[in-house]
A and B are shown apart, each in its own frame.
Chain A
Amino acid sequence: MNTTAPYTPIADSDIWVTGIGLISALGCDPTDLSEALAEGEPALERISLFEPPAYCLNLGGEIPDFDPEEFLETPKAYLDRQSALFLSAATLALSHAGLQRDTLPADRTALLAGTAWGGLDTMQNFFRDFIDKGPRLVKPFLFPHTYANTAISLAAIDWEIQGPHLNFAAGRIASNHALAAGFDLLRAGDADIAIVAGAEALTLPRMLALHHLDRLIPAGALSPALTPFDQNRRGTLVGEAATVLILERAGAAEARGATPLARLCAVGLAAAGASRDAEGHAAAEALGRAIQGALGDTTPPGGLAAVAAVVAGACGALADDRSEAEALERHIAPAVPISAPLGLTGDLGGTSGLFQCACALRMLTVRAAPPIAGLMHPELTGLNYVVNTPTALRPGPILVTTLAPGGDAAATLFALPQATSQSFRK
């Protein structure tokens, strides 16, 4: 077994990542993100955006002092928080990729986005007026900002992007589906550039919803710490972020002199469908199928040793963390280091998957896997969880796994762009 072999991309045509834009509680710069991941200090603080009710723990992954005017070319006071996060991250990503408004090929640029809740704070504000004042005294200008597609539409308007346009409102898996759509559109030649975005804001209705669905750490918990994969975990916390990746067909990117950050090798998707079970085995099987989709159908028993690391989506959720660990035990070699960065930010809703991808891209660059916050007693012990300090990585692709409540699953494989043609399979 050659565990250090470079990989063979599954894709016929190469898709490069040429830009990252990130607005997160762990920083808004890729270098800051790497440092925060390595330090392993959770960015979970008392929430200042709203006052949670007493039955919710006042703790979340709020982006401190976020001011969109620091990022946007022109002031846009009308943006709600989710749109502001989205547009800010998109601005950073386009700049990072060296793309300007006047050089962006409008009808050959696809815009794909994912969000679980969209402009939920504007929905809340609009509906509060309806309750308080009646239907004739609501603010008309608010309503267009309540749509789930408001943020992506504003981005299209801002950059005059007129290519393929899809907005996924698919819960926690939403940005993974956007990434898959970008990958598929580029490979089919329907676009030269795909701007793939995920954005989720920290809002009171979202916190209340997760509370009612028993996903949050209870207010009376002895410890409010997020502990992904730990047998004593009590739930998750809400966080917020926006992540934008610029994908390009390699030929088009080379032609404009772009620098590839990584190669997006494959995106596997699956869903548990009707066969859900209380133990989460069906969700684990769905994630297993997604992993097989990303790594190829010839996965040998025992997993793919040549995967250098896994960036898991675990964030302390009671059922989903176990299902994810179960799938990883079944499909990934025991020695592969496992990180879980959402333990530092809380559940990022529909942008969870794309934020994980940003973490994976940084891990490819710095060749280290960050530790999992708070993990002391793993529930399933057959995995190489990274704890306490970062683990140096050998060369090889990085796998991102995301699992949503309900059993929607995604697995995404990234590698360094210079990786060549030998098999990475075991």
Chain B
Amino acid sequence: MPGPTDLIITGMGVVTPLGHTLDTLWQAVCEARDGIAELDLFDMEGFKFTRGGQVRDFAHTACDPDAMDRATCFAAEACSQALTQAGLGDAPELRSRTALVAATNFGGVASGESLLAEAAGQGSSSRRDVAAFPMHAGAEQISRVLALGGLRTTLSLSCASGAAALAQAALWIRAGRADRVLAVGYDALSRFAWCGLAALRTMTHDAVRPFDANRKGTLFSEGAGALLIERADRVAERRAIGLARLSGWATNNNGFHLTAPAKEGAGSAAVMRTALEAAGLAPDAVDHVNMHGTGTQQNDITETQALYTLFGERAARIPITANKGSLGHLMGAAGSVEAILTVLSLQQGCIPPTRNHETPDPACVVDLVTGAPRRGALRVALSNAAGIGGCNAALVLEGLA
């Protein structure tokens, strides 16, 4: 039974290359479908890599495309879905007291490219583009279109952003600053981001193959994931349906290197351990881990090492999955969409398979779910995230059966 100040997830929403509803996304990942394709969002002339996870057939139901960047539109749509699932779609009074934590790597940079060009003496930018560019513009615009009247902020912690948004939401609730917080991670593909990510030399012409001996790199995607978190007593008061408990969370930094992972995954191991301690749980309690699993050489090795540091030899027997095999790397949305898939795993008693994993890597001896979904009772799951700059975030999620 949840205690009065437990944190309960009551609503979730997604926009991804594999679907714009929870049902379509869940079905797609369980069938290990491929969200990666040739990009046509912008002129790909001159780019070395041309495949990624583009959101297509996106209907603007909850956003203002005249004012919002594409990335913010994704976030607004995901937030709207989460509010609806939580029963706040027609509850303006409750929405007026709902806080918002938005998290992103690049915010509205697609809109800001014209400002950067103007600064370089090439062209001019419009007021609309400038207003949609700053990181904080997304949170302001989302709160306006969805009539959210609580606190709001924006985090940017590279690819740990989405998971960190949930941690910050939990901090606000625990500190008494809010009773109900919408946490959304989001990002869109843009010329700026694509050019830079390609320059990092982490991308591949092959598929994303998490923990595979033949993995060659990652591919980037766009989208958003939103989760509504509430104090358990508030959930009970309004007789809402809880989806899962957010029982632990943590953020940290490797304190090691701007682009290289920490030796033996020390930062990832520490952030997962801290999140478990915050939940009051021992590592033995964990039934499943949703991995960051980028499909890069270094990430997958060090994340495996982090598992062994935390779980000992049991690391080889804990069922894990890596959604990036299907979805690609959703950047600022990765941590939140993967948390959503973890909640769905807890609810359904089902771990979706990791696409494109064909040859186990002797350096990554893990129980990776592949081929078909694995069914079984799940009570506690970890979702792990990391990003450039050495940022880490981890979430402990518990089922409410």
Contacts and interface: CB of A to CB of B under 8 A. Distances in A.
B176 to A, nearest CB: 9
Interface in B118-174: 118-120, 122, 125-127, 130-131, 133-136, 139-140, 143-144, 146-158, 164, 167-168, 171-172, 174
A273 B96 contact: yes
Given A144-B388, A153-B258, A274-B96, A204 B174 contact: no
B156 A171 contact: no
Contacts of A124: 116, 119-120
B268 to A, nearest CB: 11
A270 B153 CA distance: 10
B272 to A, nearest CB: 13
For the complex of A and B, list the 10 residue pairs with the smallest distance between their C-beta atoms, beginning with the closest.
A153-B389, A273-B149, A169-B135, A171-B136, A143-B196, A148-B156, A156-B253, A140-B199, A169-B156, A184-B175
22 contacts: A107-B252, A118-B135, A124-B116, A124-B120, A126-B192, A128-B116, A134-B46, A138-B195, A143-B199, A144-B200, A147-B388, A149-B157, A156-B390, A157-B257, A160-B256, A165-B391, A166-B167, A169-B136, A212-B127, A273-B96, A274-B144, A274-B146
A161 interface: yes
Interface string A202-226: 0111001100110000000000000
Contacts of A208: 115, 118-119, 125, 130
Nearest to B254: A162
B253 A162 contact: yes
B146 to A, nearest CB: 8
Interface of A: 106-107, 111, 116-118, 123-124, 126-128, 130-132, 134-136, 138-140, 143-144, 146-150, 152-154, 156-157, 159-171, 173-174, 177, 180-181, 184-185, 187-188, 203-205, 208-209, 212-213, 269-271, 273-276, 404, 406, 408
A118 B136 CA distance: 12
Contact of B131 (A153, A159, A161, A213): A213
A154 B392 CA distance: 14
B203 to A, nearest CB: 12
Given A161-B253, A166-B251, A212-B125, A116 B136 contact: yes
Contacts of A204: 119
A213 B130 contact: yes
B117 interface: yes
Interface residues of B, number: 79
A213 B150 contact: no
A349 to B, nearest CB: 10
Interface in B347-401: 387-392
A168 B167 CA distance: 13
A166 B127 contact: no
Contacts of B116: 123-124, 127-128, 205
A97 B200 CA distance: 37
Contact of B120 (A131, A156, A157, A181): A131
A125 to B, nearest CB: 9
A263 to B, nearest CB: 18
Contacts of B112: 205
Interface string B221-263: 0000000000000000000000000000011111111110000
A154 B258 CA distance: 7
Residue in A138, A156, A165, A209 whose Cβ sees the most chain B Cβ within 10 Å: A165
Nearest to B95: A274
Contacts of A128: 116, 119-120
Contacts, number: 233
Residue in B109, B116, B201 whose Cβ sees the most chain A Cβ within 10 Å: B116
B136 A174 contact: yes
Contacts of A156: 253-255, 389-390
A149 B155 CA distance: 9
B157 A166 contact: yes
A157 B258 contact: yes
Contacts of B177: 180, 184, 269
A184 B170 CA distance: 11
Contacts of A150: 258, 389
Contact of B175 (A111, A144, A165, A187): A187
Given A138-B195, A153-B253, 8 more contacts: A118-B156, A127-B192, A132-B120, A156-B254, A169-B107, A169-B154, A188-B171, A208-B119
A210 B284 CA distance: 53
A159 B255 contact: yes
A68 B129 CA distance: 33
B33 interface: no
A118 B250 CA distance: 23
A144 B156 contact: no
A152 to B, nearest CB: 7
B218 to A, nearest CB: 15
A132 to B, nearest CB: 8
B191 interface: yes
B158 A149 contact: yes
Nearest to B178: A269
Interface string B38-76: 000000001110000000000000000000000000000
A180 B156 CA distance: 16
A305 B116 CA distance: 48
A276 B144 CA distance: 8
B270 interface: yes
A177 B153 contact: yes
B388 A209 contact: no
A270 B270 CA distance: 33
A142 B257 CA distance: 15
Contacts of A140: 199-201
A139 B109 CA distance: 19
Nearest to A150: B389
A212 B130 contact: yes
Contacts of A144: 200, 258-259, 388-389
A181 B171 contact: yes
B253 to A, nearest CB: 4
Contact of B155 (A153, A168, A205): A168
A125 B40 CA distance: 26
Contacts of A146: 196
Nearest to B113: A127
A241 to B, nearest CB: 18
A406 B140 contact: yes
B267 A274 contact: no
A137 to B, nearest CB: 9
A174 B155 CA distance: 9
